[in-house]
Amino acid sequence: MKDVKERVPELRDTPDEDIEEKFLDVIDWAKRRLCQLDSSWEYVPEGGDYYKGIMLYECRHPETGVFYLVTSEENDQASGFWHIYLRLTRDYHEAQREFEDEKADFIDMHESVIDNENIYTYKRSAYKKEKRGLLA
């Protein structure tokens, strides 16, 4: 948070928790208003107290144009652990690689406990992908 407070003086006296909440609100707003889900991979074992989700969004803003957002969220309610990772890029292939790498890293680290019955995936149609290449 120190970097954020140095770069945005208006937040200097704001508690870290409030900055985090505002940041996540902005990301949620962007996902709802500017973005469309392209791909997702989620792991939710029985019991529901653990979640790992990786999402790739295609986003459009009238002033900045097309960009891609990759999010990775891990939440373990039993331990109180929660981590979110975000990456923005204008390059679809870079975003797609980031999405696949994040997924592969998680699977490699946890392959002994991952049950495929608890993995959920989503991928937009190939037609939309071809169209994206023309629009980008």
State CA 82 to chain mean position distance: 13
The pTM for the full model equals 0.78
pLDDT at 129 over 50: no
pLDDT on residue 125? 58
Residue 72 exposed, middle or buried by CB count within 10 Å (0-12, 13-18, 19+): buried
pLDDT on residue 105? 94
H or E element in which residue 55 lies:
strand 50-61
Mean pLDDT taken over the chain: 85
The dihedral over CA atoms of 119, 52, 23, 4, expressed in degrees to the nearest 10, equals -140
